Structure 1
Amino acid sequence: MSKYEVLPQQLIHEGTLSGDNFFAPAPADEKEILKTHDADYWHRLKNLELSNQEIRRTGFPLTRELVDREIIIAQGTIDCTKFSLQHGIALNIAGGTHHAFTDRGEGFCLLNDMALAANYLLNNQLVKKILIIDLDVHQGNGTAQIFQHDPRVFTFSMHGANNYPLHKEKSDLDIALPDHTDDKSYLILLDRHLKELMNNERPDFIFYQSGVDVLATDKLGRLALTREGCKKRDKFVLNIARQTKTPIVVSMGGGYSPDFRDIIEAHANTYRLAQEIFF
């Protein structure tokens, strides 16, 4: 059973959330997808016509079920923007597909949910300036490429310097961390840069990619954060959104620790903090 099934069960079981706190999105409309992704890429993706090389780059066998899943995840993050504007915060139990480019998929990502949702907000004139905070251990290369020429979206990625992807795109702000970066070093850097960004950019909406592959236990991560350090990271981001009254949408991102409990607990902490800080 995947973390996407276990996580909501855990949150309901412990009483952090109830079933009423969850929603099931419909598939995203094609017109929304085409406001972010290249028409040729989308046509070939939905018709399962990607080349073998393109499929290998995504890391998944290409199936109808996979494409349908990505479309639903994308709409989930779009729907989250509406809940966030109303309540201050909303979270997608999946999402964070930050390796999807305008014209291709990479690294287990086919459609970029945060980019689709950001463009939904901008195209409907619901916000003017968006900050994307990407704290997954892997650089948000697809997100950086999508918004490289759009001053309305500031992309901030804090990631492992020596981790995937080998070729990094240029975010508006990239903080590349050395292997074995610990809690203290990580949190000092995050505090300094995020406070500066909030003061300088003054966003009226935030997307937060909260991958837990920064944990020392993660088999792909190469950083050295503890579970408590990861929780402090989330608390800092959520607190700054709450204090500045900036609506925030959180997508879960990656997590690959061999012990499944490390993944579930780290993700669950994000939800626990959201409930504590916002409600």
Structure 2
Amino acid sequence: MIIDLDAHQGNGHERDFAGDKRVYILDIYNSDIYPQDFLARRAITQKVELRSGTTTSAYLHQLQEELKVAKSAFHPQLIIYNAGTDILAGDPLGGLLISPEGVKERDELVFRFAEEQSCPIVMVTSGGYTKKSAGVIADSIMNLTAKGCITLGSTGISK
């Protein structure tokens, strides 16, 4: 399963896995911005098109609902999680209005989803075109650690 929560519609992995029923793609993105790749969009299993200006509360509510749908539709063996920070309010490219706290909650929701599925998760950071993105990522990882979603082992982060 690919959970793509970068502000931009994924198109590389969507084109790579088009027609492959072994891969379930949940993509929540701002449909007003680049790349608007309509061919790749057809490969998205679960597509959620947001509009510019979507707020934290609306975003998190939508994510919770979509994770419920995904849970009943697919049972992953591995989750690749694209945790873009271009969803942050003030990002010059993302167009969404998500707070730093909202990013932390988003990440926690996805990690809890993986835990409920008894599924390993790989989190990749992406997007984020402001100086505060790195700090938001660090804060989110610290939150995930504090909440027991991940642990810091001697060789790095694990679960």
TM-score, with structure 1 as normaliser: 0.50
* Partner residue, 2:6: 136
Out of 244, 254, 264, the residue aligned to residue 117 of structure 2 is 244
Distance 1:177 1:162 in 2: 8
Larger fraction in strand:
2
Q: CA deviation at 1:265?
A: 1.7
The answer for the alignment partner of 2:34 in structure 1 is: 164
Query: Which of 50, 56, 59 is residue 183 of structure 1 equivalent to?
Result: 56
**Structure of higher RCO (CA pairs closer than 8 Å, 6+ residues apart):** 2
Asked if the contact 1:242/1:278 (under 8 Å) is kept, the reply is no
1:194 pairs, out of 63, 67, 78, with 67
RMSD in angstroms over aligned alpha carbons?
1.3
- 2:83 matched to 1:210? yes
Q: Establish whether residue 274 from structure 1 lines up as the match of residue 147 from structure 2.
A: no
**Letter of the aligned partner of 1:223 in structure 2?**
L
Larger radius of gyration: 1
Q: Residues 9 and 36 of structure 2 are in contact (CA less than 8 Å); yes or no, is this contact kept in structure 1?
A: no
Runs of 4 or more, structure 1, over 6 Å off, are none
Does the 8 Å CA contact 1:230/1:266 hold for their aligned counterparts? Answer: yes
Residue 229 of structure 1 aligns to which amino acid in structure 2? Answer: G
**CA deviation profile, 1:17-41 (whole Å, cap 9, x unmatched):** xxxxxxxxxxxxxxxxxxxxxxxxx
- Tell me, in whole angstroms, the C-alpha distance in 1 between the residues paired with 2:143 and 2:114: 12
Aligned to 2:97, the other structure's residue is in SS state coil
Among 255, 263, 270, which residue is 2:128 paired with?
255
Q: Which amino acid aligns with 1:215?
A: L
Give 1:143 deviation, angstroms.
Answer: 0.8
**Displacement after TM superposition at 1:199 (Å):** 2.2
Aligned to 1:86: none
Q: % of aligned pairs identical?
A: 33
Matched ranges for 1:47-196 at <5 A = 131-168=1-38, 169-170=40-41, 171-196=44-69
Relative to its length, the structure with more helix (as a share) is: 1
SS at match of 1:153: coil
TM-score computed with the length of structure 2 as normaliser: 0.86
Count of aligned pairs: 146
What is the SS of the residue equivalent to 1:210?
strand
Distance 2:125 2:13 in 1: 15
Contact 2:75 2:117 in 1 (8 A): no
Cα offset for 1:161?
0.9
Match of 1:225 in 2: 98
Q: Using the TM superposition, give the Cα deviation of residue 252 of structure 1 relative to its aligned residue in structure 2, in angstroms.
A: 0.5
Tell me the equivalent position of 1:12. none
Cα distance in 2 for residues equivalent to 1:150 and 1:270: 32
Q: Secondary structure at the match of 2:24?
A: strand
One-letter identity of the residue aligned with 1:270: S
Amino acid at match of 1:271: I
Q: Provide the C-alpha distance between the structure 2 equivalents of 1:189 and 1:166, rounded to a whole number of angstroms.
A: 21
**Letter matched to residue 16 of structure 2:** I
Distance 2:93 2:52 in 1: 11
